[in-house]
Chains A and B, each alone.
Chain A
Amino acid sequence: MSMAAAHQITAGFMPLFDSAVLVAASELGFAAREGIELTLHRETSWANIRDRIAIGHFHLAHMLGPMPLACSLGLTPIASETIVPFSLSLGGNCVTVSNAVWDGMAAHGAEPDLDPARAGAALGALIRERATAGREPLRFAVVHPHSGHNYELRYWLAACSIDPERDIEIVIVPPPFMADALAAGRIDGYCVGEPWNSAAVAAGTGHIVTVKALLWRNSPEKVVGVRKAWAEENPEALAALLRALHHSARWCQDPANHAELAALMAGSGFLGLPASVQMPILTGRLKLGGGAERAIADFFVPFDKAANFPWKSHALWFYTQMVRWGQLAHTPENLAIAWNCYRPDLYRSALKPLGVALPGANAKVEGALKAATPVGSAGASLLLGPDGFFDGQIFDPDEIEAYIAGQKHADSLAQ
């Protein structure tokens, strides 16, 4: 006889590999063991996730890291207070370009080594050469305006003296269509999560030039966005879910489970792609195109390095990028909303009974850790970082005014 679950939770997700922690929690019994009946709904766009959270169809959802900020800050058509008590993953994205762009970059010194600075310099030289010849600007695609992809692509380009507003064009393309759009010549490059980079390499139509894990080490990607009203009314259900996700994430991280996880995600109800296609994100071993291959440390991190901790400094960095690219005005009110969006307090209180090591701070200085560093409350059993930006910049949330003021904007980049 089965007892009715204590908590019924409905969640939305996009068919992307970094929904794995949520999927495994539902399919492998982690949620059931916490007394949760977790119902997952696959969606076709981030806009649908946003709308269904806003009107209450979903209690929570797999979301792009900046998305709950955008919802809470009123950047979306239906404003809805959305909080983040759990982060689903670090890393996982790449920048891929067409063969023609790669040939052009190679002629300007790019090597198949994923080095962001070298690749950026070569791309900059190619862009200037094309401009001199009067050719159309290159067109890059990202998955959503309020996405880590959009901000990391722009950060990389700007740090390499390429103006993402004027020197190139940035458009939105859904992840599964990226490789086809590249092959058809509708776009010249893109930033997206796996397996949509390896897909272009396998098709012989693209080269991976750099990865999120090198642009900003151990940087935030997807999160669990929760309707704030539901979270406040159902604190026990939420805490139980966070414990289920914790156990699920630990399972997903373990290499012994990777083949089973890849097979699970390959299912027609989830990604609907062969399990073999899911392996590069798990192993961190990527084919770059032209026969080159690289192993990337911390390419995709679902659990280690306190990956699930919702750092307020991550939310605030996204906020600085929204301001930087003109999506949002920097005001004390907006900053307060951003500060209150990620909720490490809820993560901590839910996991406390498990006796696991937890970060003591709510925010950290991003870019300060040059190597993996032990921290935490329970015998320093928690490793953090490294968390450096490729250009050596530091983001100190206490110095956010100076950071925002010091960011190169479209105007200053043009000079």
Chain B
Amino acid sequence: MVRSSLAVLVIDENRIRASIIEAGLREAGHERVTVIHDVAGIARRIAEIEPDVIVIDLENPNRDMLENMFQLSRAVKRPIAMFVDRSDQASIEAAVEAGVSAYVVDGLRQERVKPILDMAVSRFNAFSRMARELEEARSELESRKVIDRAKGILMKSRGLSEEAAYTLLRKTAMNQNRKISDIAQSLVTAAGLLGPLEDE
């Protein structure tokens, strides 16, 4: 069998991120990609797969165990080194910052492996960005909800119009140098403690 591409093993407990990496590798022409989410029985799997490159997320608590396994070289036939090139400090930093590490079979030519690490780093970064944006969108939605509730409380208790209620919240926030959502949250909490003002 002609080995047209490297065997890549992706170990990541995060299934979404793992599939993003896998898709990237396949798009780049790597056909022999295996994804593992659970490290149970991994020694046997590694012996079967004989990976040239192993990609692991840094949050994986089993990293110490996995590294030791690679070093003992019982599970893998050839010795494995971390990172493509020890002297390439920028690459190493980019990988650690992105939250990924790569282990490669010693002696593998750098130009064959470097694109895999670069791809993993950029996909890890893209995933973090996506997760952050999702979180921001979620918290924005939450603050909009809490502002609506605070407006409702003011309208009911002070007999204000919706616009006047919002203006009062905004003015208070400006005076106290805080966010409107923080003022709204304080108001909702206080109303909750006082009880009867809020009937929802």
Contact = CB atoms under 8 A, between A and B. Distances in A.
Interface of A: 44-48, 51-52, 55, 57, 77-79, 143-145, 171-174, 176-177
A44 B59 contact: yes
Contact of A174 (B65, B81, B86, B93): B65
Contact of B63 (A47, A171, A177): A47
B155 interface: no
A143 B64 contact: yes
B67 interface: yes
A45 B61 contact: yes
Contacts of B101: 47, 51
A78 B63 contact: no
B61 A51 contact: no
Given A47-B67, A78-B83, A55 B60 contact: no
A44 B83 CA distance: 19
A55 B82 contact: no
Main secondary structure of the interface of B (DSSP, over half): helix
Contacts, number: 58
B128 interface: no
B197 interface: no
27 contacts: A44-B59, A44-B60, A44-B61, A45-B60, A46-B64, A47-B64, A47-B67, A51-B96, A52-B96, A55-B89, A55-B92, A55-B93, A77-B81, A77-B83, A77-B86, A78-B82, A78-B86, A78-B92, A79-B86, A144-B68, A145-B68, A145-B71, A172-B64, A172-B67, A172-B69, A173-B65, A177-B61
A48 B68 contact: no
Nearest to B99: A48
Contacts of A46: 64
B96 A44 contact: no
Contacts of A174: 61-62, 64-65
Nearest to A79: B86
Contacts of B63: 44-45, 47-48
Contact of A45 (B64, B89, B97): B64
A79 B92 CA distance: 12
B6 interface: no
Contacts of B62: 45, 174, 177
A47 B65 CA distance: 10
A171 B55 CA distance: 21
Contact of B65 (A48, A52, A172): A172
Contacts of B93: 55
A171 B68 contact: yes
A355 to B, nearest CB: 41
Given A55-B96, A77-B81, A48 B58 contact: yes
Contacts of B97: 55, 57
Contacts of B60: 44-45
Contacts of A48: 58, 63
Contacts of A78: 82-83, 86, 92
A77 B56 CA distance: 15
Nearest to B93: A55
Contacts of A145: 68, 71
